[in-house]
Amino acid sequence: MSQTTATSQVRLTLPDGSVREYPAGVTGREIAESIGPGLAKAAVAIRVDGTVRDLMFPIRGDAPIAILTERDRESLDVLRHSAAHIMATAVREIFPTAGIGFGPSIDEGFYYDFEVPRPFTPEDLEQIEARMAEVTRKDYPFVREEVDRDAANRRFADDPLKLERISELGDDEVISTYTDGTFTDLCRGPHVPSTGRLKHFKLLNTAGAYWRGDSRRQMLQRIYGTAFFKKDELEAHLHRLEEARRRDHRRLGRELDLFMFHPFAPGAPFWTDRGTTLYNLLNAFMRDLQRSGYQEIKTPLLYNKGLWEISGHWGKYKENMFLVLDNETGEHDSSLKPMNCPSHYLMYGANKHSYRELPIRYTTYDVLHRNEVSGALSGLTRVRQFQQDDCHIFLMPSQIPDEVRRLTQFILSYYQVFGLTATLKFATRPEVRIGDDAMWDAAEGALRSALEATGLPYELKPGDGAFYGPKIDFDVADSIGRTWQLGTIQLDYNAPERFDLKYVGEDNHDHRPVVIHRAVNGSFERFIAILIEHFAGLFPVWLAPEQVRVLPISDAQAAAAHAVADRMRAAGLRVAVDDSHETLNYRIRAGEVEKVPYMAVVGQREAESDSLALRVRGSGKKQEVLTVDAFLERVTGEVRTRALVP
């Protein structure tokens, strides 16, 4: 709070700019009541001088304030953190000796860590959830008390985790406790006024978690849950979680036989024939788009540390690189490349360039390695080995606006092909950075005016830029509303200095180019994970590893079915024939499980009339009979236009 007035009155400024006076020590609840009974009922918490407090918090100095209701985003955090307390209340009633760790709200809900003799079972969770419902029905107020250290130590004498935290609090810190019904917790707050405010919640899962995230300390049991103010919001969230589970690319990757992992190569996918087909299709598509105006190059995978010393990676990024032993020096002084940029600078710097050649756009799909800690690895979204659709553009400062417009259109139209919608974020200088303020002013100014010239809306992300320059990030929303950060356009004034890159200007003198780092997919691996989940494995026909499966009704049509398949292959389609001796229904079912877009059934009548009975994925038992030529025309057209069908 800004200052304490000499009198025992405080002057509080409301969001509409009006000022009200109250006795010092007034609480949010009293303020809300003084404004109106409607607000008093709706109030969840109060923001005092930028900090969210609960409604029982005494305000002792002048400050701007805002009463928060369910409509404010901060209120949801308050509700969820309160839900964590209510969960702890229930756990303590059922497991009276449970030790109590941390219980914060998180992005999509809350958790609490407990020290208990055994992991919680699904039955425990049900029981805890039922007990939480009782605690909310009793509508206990959250009672705040400020206590001194001795009182706090006495109160939590039976819980070593709490005692440890009390011992770390500074002497000038206020120690506060909150009690809701049978349970008292050491906490700073804020909380909702009473347990009855929690109405729509769900416990989701459990996980082991080290006390304080330290693997040398004891393992606690974490329970995750979520809570919302509105029932339909909770239901929509649970539905989204269920959808995400159903679409999980790790499961679908196995079921659709796309990739696998092996403990001998952690974080490095093995691509099956089908997965490799998918990978190559995406790569071919990107190559196609970059056929003109780009130079595709390949550079070495392994480098001497000298390169990383110039680029700054040896100092700042070494722990993320796979170091390699050099037999001649006996030292680990080489490394697999974690990114392509420095090798592209070497390539550019090897020749003299005229301003007339710029912009020069190098693109590369080389394999990269990053030494991610094994605990962070997850399916295809966090891997150690991957390939990017990487591009580095060398250009004159005056070319930045045109280039940024061109790249932005390129990236957005690429996402459109997959039915992904993107939002643009403009990220500015981070706290830890290289380069002086003048450089950053120039870089941010150039990128921002280039971005504004596109006419597209964007969000500002202050402090989120790369350490060498500002960037535009492309966040993409998938079919179930989750967002993923994919593409990026990063402006770099620093690398050209470090690598002494030049071009000869119109004036015949040397000048520094600017570098733009650009990626569209990010990595193919992660992009494929996103596509699998976005499409729930139902790839549009142009991307499906197997586009058509031909099914002869009986052996008598096997030869005709193979002939039809050959014609389809000749037309460029990826086709399999299932002439196994299973029943037709069984084979159709297998094709459905494997999510094949088209199944072409060939019976006697079809064989004689050069036609097929087509089953389209997602259309149930419906069959349409058409000639083989009509089928080829239709499907090759869909593939050529990359239509999002079937």
- For residue 82, the minimal CB distance to Zn ion (Å) is 7
Q: What is the edge-to-edge ordering of all strands in the sheet holding 624-627?
A: 575-577, 548-552, 598-602, 611-616, 624-627
Candidate list 221, 388, 399, 547, residue with the active-site label: 388
Q: Parallel, antiparallel, or unpaired for β 575-577 and 510-511? A: unpaired
Under 8 Å between Cβ of 137 and 196: yes
Closest CA to 223 of 54, 98, 75: 98
189/537 with CB nearer Zn ion = 189
Cβ neighbour number for residue 394 with a 10 Å cutoff = 24
187/417 with CB nearer Zn ion = 187
Residue type, 582: E
Residue type, 397: P
Q: Is 174 exposed, middle or buried (0-12, 13-18, 19+ CB in 10 A)?
A: exposed
In angstroms, the CA 425 to CA 488 distance is 9
187/480 with CB nearer Zn ion = 187
In angstroms, the CA 580 to CA 570 distance is 23
187/234 with CB nearer Zn ion = 187
Closest CA to 397 of 513, 266, 568: 513
- For residue 56, the minimal CB distance to Zn ion (Å) is 13
Closest CA to 205 of 221, 229, 192, 181: 221
- For residue 482, the minimal CB distance to Zn ion (Å) is 26
Torsion angle (degrees, nearest 10) of CA 111, 114, 119, 124: -70
Residues pairing with 68 in the sheet: 45
Q: Which residues of 459-489 are buried (b: 16+ CB within 10 A; e: fewer)?
A: eebeeebbebbbbbbbbbebebeeebebbbb
Under 8 Å between Cβ of 247 and 239: no
- For residue 518, the minimal CB distance to Zn ion (Å) is 8
- For residue 187, the minimal CB distance to Zn ion (Å) is 3
In angstroms, the CA 362 to CA 298 distance is 9
144/617 with CB nearer Zn ion = 144
In angstroms, the CA 37 to CA 508 distance is 77
Candidate list 81, 197, 313, 341, residue with the active-site label: 341
E strand or H helix at 423, and its extent? strand 421-427
In angstroms, the CA 481 to CA 546 distance is 28
225/379 with CB nearer Zn ion = 225
Is residue 341 flagged as an active site residue? Answer: yes
Structural tokens at position 493? 């004034």
- For residue 313, the minimal CB distance to Zn ion (Å) is 12
Residue type, 565: A
338/545 with CB nearer Zn ion = 338
Candidate list 85, 370, 384, 429, residue with the active-site label: 370
286/575 with CB nearer Zn ion = 286
27/364 with CB nearer Zn ion = 364
User: CA 6, 8, 14 angle in degrees (round to 5)?
Assistant: 100
Is residue 388 flagged as an active site residue? Answer: yes
274/471 with CB nearer Zn ion = 471
- For residue 145, the minimal CB distance to Zn ion (Å) is 13
113/546 with CB nearer Zn ion = 113
- Torsion sign over Cα 291, 294, 295, 301: negative
103/269 with CB nearer Zn ion = 103
Is residue 436 flagged as an active site residue? Answer: no
- For residue 467, the minimal CB distance to Zn ion (Å) is 12
In angstroms, the CA 483 to CA 481 distance is 6
Candidate list 165, 197, 471, 534, residue with the active-site label: 471
- For residue 191, the minimal CB distance to Zn ion (Å) is 6
In angstroms, the CA 565 to CA 577 distance is 7
- For residue 178, the minimal CB distance to Zn ion (Å) is 6
Residue ranges with strand state E in 188-304: 200-210, 219-228, 259-260, 270-271, 295-296, 302-304
Is residue 390 flagged as an active site residue? Answer: yes
Is residue 370 flagged as an active site residue? Answer: yes
Contacts of residue 89, defined as CB under 8 A and 6 or more positions apart, other chains included, come to 132, 135, 180, 181, 182, 183, 195
- For residue 344, the minimal CB distance to Zn ion (Å) is 7
Question: What is the contact surface with Zn ion in residues (CB under 5 A)?
Answer: 187, 341, 517
Is residue 471 flagged as an active site residue? Answer: yes
| Own/partner long-range contacts of 559-563 (Cβ < 8 Å, ≥24 apart) | 560/602, 560/606, 560/607, 561/602
- For residue 311, the minimal CB distance to Zn ion (Å) is 10
Under 8 Å between Cβ of 43 and 29: yes
Is residue 187 flagged as an active site residue? Answer: no
Candidate list 77, 124, 390, 579, residue with the active-site label: 390
In angstroms, the CA 107 to CA 81 distance is 11
Find the farthest-apart pair of alpha carbons in the chain and give their distance in angstroms, rounded.
101
Cβ neighbour number for residue 83 with a 10 Å cutoff = 30
Please give the positions annotated as active site. 341, 370, 388, 390, 392, 471, 517
